[in-house]
A and B are shown apart, each in its own frame.
Chain A
């Protein structure tokens, strides 16, 4: 698909940041997002190419404004809903609950 993910050869994206001793994950939530993807992938409901394609479905403006593991999380939610393992309502309800807990 001719999506925003296919950005090879594009200008204007700025220099590549090089970090000394770059950590595998920059935030604890990224580690969890990655692990969730691995664990859910093992259910056998989709393959690695389907999960790449799911990431390509992200709306272009959102894709550019979010980080690598946000793409992973977005595509995982989409696959879980598409395959009937979760509903969007369940995800939204859990998010609302976590937000309430964070405010306290």
Chain B
């Protein structure tokens, strides 16, 4: 039988949300401070790696923990649990000399988006 959301439960359900955090039992490939390079991937499916960051070098700023890998989950390929990081990219690394020297972009990226830089 399909689940149904009853009007009386809407408040409770929405406050609870649908967390994507998973048990922290997968080893991280990177740690804060590590230099990384975003993979140059162009899948026809869903990816959370923006085009402008592909092939660019960044620094792992922090490790958020283990999360559902959205790229896999969107395609019905399960949760593929792995670490999610906040990765810092310099604006000039992304967009070249026209960008402001001190601007940076933080992008949340998973292990499968990154290689050692």
Give the interface of A toward B (CB within 8 A). 1-2, 6, 8-9, 38-39, 42-45, 47-50, 52-53, 56
Contacts and interface: CB of A to CB of B under 8 A. Distances in A.
Contacts of A9: 50, 52, 94-95
Interface of B: 2-5, 10, 13-14, 18, 20, 42-47, 50-52, 68, 70-71, 73-76, 94-95
B20 to A, nearest CB: 8
Contacts of A2: 42, 51
A50 B78 CA distance: 11
B2 A43 contact: yes
B46 A6 contact: no
A42 B46 contact: no
Contacts of B42: 2
Contact of B3 (A1, A8, A43): A43
Given A39-B5, A49-B73, A52-B70, 16 more contacts: A1-B45, A1-B46, A2-B51, A6-B51, A8-B50, A8-B51, A8-B52, A9-B52, A38-B14, A47-B18, A47-B74, A48-B20, A49-B46, A49-B68, A50-B74, A50-B75
A50 B46 CA distance: 8
Contacts of B51: 2, 6, 8
Of B4, B13, B68, B74, most buried by chain A (CB within 10 Å of CB) is B74
Contacts of A43: 2-4
Nearest to B91: A9
Contacts of A6: 50-51
Nearest to A85: B2
A45 B18 CA distance: 15
A63 to B, nearest CB: 15
A79 to B, nearest CB: 12
